[in-house]
Structure 1
Amino acid sequence: MELIADIFLVAGALGAGFYCYILSRRLSRFTDLETGVGGAVAVLSVQVDDLTRALEAAQATAGASGDSLENLTDRAESVAKRLELMVASMHDLPPAAQPAPEVKSPLGPIFRRHDSAGASQ
């Protein structure tokens, strides 16, 4: 009976050893820096660095654009104040004389011929 138990114990140890060997090969392929997850992690790390640099550049550009927009807004407000003053001063001017209405002929336009001396015929 002990012999059978020893055989099963040796078989179990050999099975566990074979399983560990297969598992170590799979893990070495899994963590390979070229094709496995290690390679994917390395690529993602490089992409994160690139995105960080791009984000910093975008933030700097946005800050410069914000400053420029603030300056333009200040200029527009000062021009708007000047225009308001000009419009307010226009109320103090007398109204412009109304032009005389044109008299239209019921027959339509009349054409006259002028000679070289300028007198009409």
Structure 2
Amino acid sequence: MTLIADILMAGGAFGAALYCYVLSQRLRRFSTLEGGMGGAIAVLSAQVDDMTRALDKARAAATISASSLEALTGRAESVASRLDLLLASMHDLPDTPAEARAEFEPEADRRLRFVRRRSLREDAEVEA
């Protein structure tokens, strides 16, 4: 009886050793950097680093754009309030008769001419 138990125990130990050897070979192939999962993990890690840097740059650009947009919005609101005030003051002016208007506008049929000039900033951009 002990002989049968010893043979079964030796067979079990040999099976466990064979199983451990097969697992070690699979693990070695799994972790190689050239073609196994280790290479894929290294590539993905490099891509995550690149995406993190790109995200930081995009976040910085968005912050700058948001601050400039906020400044422009503030300027637009102040100009809009000034325009509202000017329009309100125009309604308070008394209406003048047609003869008095003709004195101030001798050439009512004359077409207005608008002249547009370049700013210093546009000149600098053209030269560059």
Q: Is the TM value for this pair above 0.5?
A: yes
Amino acid in the other structure paired with 1:53: R
The sequence identity of aligned pairs, in percent, is: 63
**Corresponding residue for 1:11?**
11
Q: Runs in 1 of length 4+ with deviation above 6 angstroms?
A: none
Distance 1:36 1:96, change over 3 A: farther
- How far, CA to CA, are the matches of 2:5 and 2:51 in structure 1? 61
TM-score between the two structures when normalised by the length of structure 1 = 0.71
* CA distance in structure 2 between the aligned counterparts of 1:3 and 1:91, rounded to whole angstroms: 118
Structure index of larger Rg: 1
* Cα RMSD after superposing both structures: 1.7
The secondary structure found in structure 2 opposite 1:55 is helix
- Give the Cα separation in 1 of the matches to 2:96 and 2:24: 99
In the alignment, structure 2 segments of 5+ residues that lack a partner are 99-128
Q: Which residue of 1 aligns with 2:63?
A: 63
| Larger helix proportion of the pair | 2
The reply on whether 1:53 has 2:53 as its aligned counterpart is: yes
Partner in structure 2 of residue 33 of structure 1: 33
Give the structure-2-normalised TM-score: 0.68
- Which ranges in structure 1 are unaligned for 5 or more consecutive residues? 99-121
Q: 1:73-118, CA deviations, whole angstroms, 9 ceiling, x for partnerless residues?
A: 11101211210111011112233657xxxxxxxxxxxxxxxxxxxx
Supply the distance in 2 between the matched residues of 1:6 and 1:55 (Cα, whole angstroms): 65
| Number of equivalent positions | 98
